[in-house]
């Protein structure tokens, strides 16, 4: 335990950090391979933060399941491509010193007549043992991936692959009923009867799933490459400014409008605008028809895209329950502070210093303030002219779980104001339009409070500086010990006045002589 942890007596809602625990450090690097019907991917997760950090992430579009409905076998070309990808992945794993790899194969390999032959060939040529999992297990792992990003999530997880589609209920951190189907777009592309034949299969399959699972009026979580491609096209159609897949929200109306947009526009043009590969784009028209059917049958109240799925679910398997229960945002911010800040642990003191400015806030807002304090100094290596922009980009683009898009932007704006007194001249106006005026003002106040508090970091005593805020009197007070008063130079004084200006407050500074 370092000095900052010894002196921090109140960990608040978020408890003592886990990453200093040796059991948590055992998760420092985990490698998983997902052999899907459409792609083969290696992900190496690095770091003990509760949110996954991607040390390595590469996929190859192999289309192992192409033609499976007609031949009953894996695609010969897909086998060649998949085997080459797996050789490469095993060589990379060895080169970076991974002790072992966990590899799973899903629908195409488990259903193909030559699936076991392929698994044996991979073992013989690479030494990699592939675990072929059934549809129920695939659904469970995907649902666990969603729980990795949303610990308290509830609703229906829908994971679409090339040859199958899995559904799983989640509630109270647990995975409930699970179902699998053959509604993968790669498989549906081979259905006889063209569009009408596919429509019939989709309808019949969804009726069976609906009978087993009942109506799912909570949130629908979308997992899988075809869903993400649809979300990218939806973003492009709407002119949505934040191009982050995780936690992107859509409504049933959005899906209907995007379906029409896809079916009435040139697909090559669309895929270039939205940044979708040609192989993926070929499956999008089929996938959107499946998604519309899901909405008609299950009627969820809203739709969220999850970047976390089966691979993250495999990481979740490695986590002790104590880590699973933690807030993914706070744990990853703690990890970032410990790794990158100049004075790890100061974020806790900074949070205490600024706390009087936010006396009545929700837990959701408290966690954003807490996260901002932990991250306030992690970008110090950036050039001083660009630290604000770097902080904003970090918050809005980083792999941080448990953050809605508006929360990302709020966090980014607070960190921008940590380094900049104003935001004029930045290129973030389109993103800031997603925040309310009240959120814009609170993020500014938070950032300017951190900007002031960062000037008072030289003394480890928590009581060297205290702020008080009287909103009825519109008065902001700062009390310093005699030892700390020299820290309150011209720059610190200017920052204090800037904070008071953001609050429309008068100021008072007192010095405690004893």
Contact by Cβ (8 Å): 393, 381: no
Give CA–CA dist 119/102, Å, rounded.
14
Give CA–CA dist 411/375, Å, rounded.
9
Backbone angles phi, psi at 475, to 5 degrees: -125, 130
Superfamily of domain 27-133: ATPase, nucleotide binding domain (3.30.420.40)
Contact by Cβ (8 Å): 188, 283: no
Cα distances (angstroms) measured from residue 290 to each of 134, 159, 202: 21, 12, 6
Contact by Cβ (8 Å): 371, 415: no
More confident call, 102 vs 10 = 102
Lowest-confidence range among 70-84, 236-250, 385-399?
385-399
The pLDDT score that the predictor gives to residue 5 is: 41
Give CA–CA dist 253/238, Å, rounded.
12
| CA-CA-CA-CA dihedral for 151, 153, 158, 161, to nearest 10 | -20
Residue 195's CB is within 10 A of a number of other CB atoms, namely 11
Give the per-residue SS3 of 247-269: CCEECHHHHHHHHHHHHHCCHHH
Strands across the sheet with 465-470, in order?
465-470, 475-481, 506-512
Arithmetic mean of pLDDT over the chain: 90
The pLDDT score that the predictor gives to residue 13 is: 53
The pLDDT score that the predictor gives to residue 22 is: 45
Mean pLDDT of 84-105: 93
Mean pLDDT of 426-442: 95
Three-state SS at 511: strand
Task: Give the confidence band of 63 by pLDDT, cuts at 50, 70, 90.
Answer: very high
The pLDDT score that the predictor gives to residue 457 is: 67
What digits encode the pLDDT tens for the residues 444-475? 999 999 999 999 865 555 578 899 999 999 99
| CA-CA-CA-CA dihedral for 59, 60, 61, 62, to nearest 10 | -130
Taking the domains of the chain in order of start, what are their residue ranges?
27-133, 136-309, 327-458
Strands across the sheet with 155-160, in order?
174-181, 165-171, 155-160, 219-223, 302-306, 249-250
> 144 is written with which tokens?
């666990």
More confident call, 463 vs 413 = 413
**CATH 3.30.420.150 fits domain 136-309:** yes
DSSP 8-state class, residue 12: G
Give CA–CA dist 169/188, Å, rounded.
24
Mean pLDDT of 240-257: 95
Instruction: List residues bridging with 478 in a β-sheet.
Output: 467, 509
Number of H helices, E strands in the chain: 24, 14
Q: Does 122 score more than 70 pLDDT?
A: yes
How many Å is the Cα radius of gyration of the chain? 26
Residues 479, 10, 442: CA angle, nearest 5 degrees? 60
Its sign, for the CA torsion 459, 463, 465, 471, is positive
User: In the CATH hierarchy, which top-level class contains the domain 327-458?
Assistant: mainly alpha
Give the per-residue SS3 of 307-343: CCCHHHHHHHHHCCHHHHCCCHHHHHHHHHHHHHCCC
Mean pLDDT of 157-175: 94
The pLDDT score that the predictor gives to residue 8 is: 40
Give CA–CA dist 38/60, Å, rounded.
9
Q: Does 25 score more than 80 pLDDT?
A: no
Strands (E), 404-490: 465-470, 475-481
Are 27-133 and 327-458 in the same CATH fold?
no
Question: Taking phi first (over 0 means left), then psi (-120 to 50 degrees means alpha), and beta for anything else, what does residue 46 get?
Answer: beta
> 97 is written with which tokens?
């010193």
CA-nearest of 96, 82, 91, 83 to 30 is: 96
CA-nearest of 460, 503, 442 to 348 is: 460
Contact by Cβ (8 Å): 127, 99: no
Give CA–CA dist 278/108, Å, rounded.
21
Mean pLDDT of 21-49: 76
């Amino acid at each position: 335990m370092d000095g900052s942890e010894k002196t921090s007596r109140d960990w608040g809602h978020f408890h003592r950090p886990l990453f200093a625990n040796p059991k948590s450090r055992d998760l420092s690097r985990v490698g998983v391979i997902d052999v899907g019907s459409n792609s083969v991917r290696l992900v190496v997760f690095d770091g003990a933060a509760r949110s996954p950090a991607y040390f390595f992430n590469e996929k190859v579009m192999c289309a192992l399941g192409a033609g499976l409905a007609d031949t009953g076998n894996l695609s010969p070309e897909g086998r060649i491509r998949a085997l080459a990808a797996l050789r490469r992945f095993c060589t990379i794993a060895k080169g970076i010193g991974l002790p072992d790899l966990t590899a799973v194969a899903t629908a195409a390999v488990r259903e193909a007549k030559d699936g076991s032959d392929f698994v044996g060939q991979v073992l013989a040529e690479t030494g990699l043992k592939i675990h072929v999992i059934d549809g129920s297990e695939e659904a469970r792992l995907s649902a666990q991936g969603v729980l990795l990003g949303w610990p308290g999530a509830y609703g229906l997880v829908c994971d679409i692959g090339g040859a199958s589609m899995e559904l799983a209920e989640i509630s109270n951190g647990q995975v409930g009923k699970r179902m699998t189907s053959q509604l993968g777009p790669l498989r549906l592309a081979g259905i006889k009867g063209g569009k009408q034949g596919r429509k019939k299969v989709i309808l019949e399959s969804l009726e069976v799933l609906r009978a087993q699972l009942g109506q799912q009026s909570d949130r629908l979580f979308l997992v899988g490459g075809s869903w993400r491609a649809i979300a990218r096209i939806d973003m492009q159609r709407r002119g949505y400014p934040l191009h982050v897949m995780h936690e992107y929200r859509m409504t049933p109306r959005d899906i209907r409008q995007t379906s029409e947009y896809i079916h009435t526009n040139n697909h090559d043009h669309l895929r270039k605008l939205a940044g979708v590969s040609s192989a993926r784009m070929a499956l999008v028209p089929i996938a959107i028809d499946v998604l519309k059917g899901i909405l008609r049958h299950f009627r969820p109240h809203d739709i969220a895209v999850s970047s976390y799925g089966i691979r993250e679910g495999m990481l979740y398997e490695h986590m002790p329950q104590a880590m699973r229960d933690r807030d993914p945002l706070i744990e990853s911010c703690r990890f970032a502070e410990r790794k990158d800040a100049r004075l790890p642990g100061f974020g806790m003191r900074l949070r205490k210093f600024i706390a009087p400015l936010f006396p009545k806030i929700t837990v959701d807002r408290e966690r954003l303030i807490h996260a901002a304090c932990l991250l306030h100094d992690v970008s110090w290596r950036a050039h001083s002219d660009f630290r604000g922009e770097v902080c904003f980009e970090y918050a809005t683009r980083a792999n941080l779980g448990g953050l809605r898009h508006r929360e990302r932007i709020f966090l980014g704006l607070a960190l921008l104001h940590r380094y900049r007194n104003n935001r004029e001249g930045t290129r973030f106006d389109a993103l800031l339009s997603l925040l309310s005026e009240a959120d814009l003002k609170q993020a500014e106040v938070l950032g300017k409070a951190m900007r002031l508090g960062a000037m008072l970091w030289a003394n480890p005593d928590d009581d060297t500086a205290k702020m008080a805020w009287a909103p009825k009197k519109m008065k902001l007070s700062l009390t310093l010990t005699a030892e700390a008063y020299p820290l309150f130079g011209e720059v610190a004084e200017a920052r204090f006045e800037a904070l008071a200006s953001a609050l429309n407050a008068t100021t008072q500074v007192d010095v405690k002589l004893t």
